[in-house]
Amino acid sequence: MATTIHPTAIVEPGAQLGADCEIMAHAIVTKHCELGDRVVVHPFAVVGGDPQYLKFDRTLDARVRIGAGTVVREHVTINRSIHAGKATVLGENCFLMAASHVAHDCEVGSHVVFANAALLAGHVSVGDHSFLGGAAAVHQFCRIGDSVMVAGHAAITRDVPHFTMVAERDDVIGFNIVGLKRRGVPRVAIAELKAAFQEVYFTPGNIRDVAAARLAAGAFETAEARKFLEFFAGGKRSFARARRAKEENEE
């Protein structure tokens, strides 16, 4: 079917819409947006609005890019970048449930799900196939890895490594085993991930140094385990910690 713009929807001149998009009644798509094919924007969502940044220059050509097949539900807000020529980016086939928020300069991968009222502050990255539970909130500049499960009402203020589950305040509670199996990750890779998790989180010392040493030693062969270890080499924030490790440090 052709792209459909319903009565009372606002699509500003200059917005770029792909094939077979649907912009429902009362939705707003600003001139700063680039939407891929089959993107659906539900009523009262605002895509490409100004960032919530006090020093923002509204004359800047800063944008939002959304990949094909992404669904934006009611009252979702996706803000454009604060930098000229830059964009807030969402990948393909994402699903943003009602009242979720993506702030300026976020980079969200593909096949990511935001439950109702999940919130990203500015400059957050979220990897492919991750899930943010209802009312979860992520601090600015945090990294959420691939296939991460964030519990509802979680408060994330640190980086969360690939393939893990995180709850409450930065508590890593294990691996996202269900998500990994659904993606067809082989058992040998899941076994190595569990071993790498134990090595990183329960070996005394700096977590970055431990991960780097295990990676350099070639102790793990699967791509998934190596990707998990490589995560700790990046970012500027500290890392969410395993719950048992936190409890031991507090004793």
Active site residues: 104-105, 122
Gyration radius (Cα) of the chain, Å: 19
Nearest CA to 72 among 48, 45, 91? 45
- Using alpha carbons only, what angle is made at residue 64 by residues 164 and 117, rounded to the nearest 5 degrees? 50
Strand 113-114 with 95-96, pairing: parallel
SS3 track for the chain: CCCEECCCCEECCCCEECCCCEECCCCEECCCEEECCCCEECCCCEEEECCCCCCCCCCCCCEEEECCCCEECCCCEEECCCCCCCEEEECCCCEECCCCEECCCCEECCCCEECCCCEECCCCEECCCCEECCCCEECCCCEECCCCEECCCCEECCEECCCEEEECECEEEEECHHHHHHCCCCHHHHHHHHHHHHHHHHCCCCHHHHHHHHHHCCCCCCHHHHHHHHHCCCCCCCECEEHHHHHHHHC
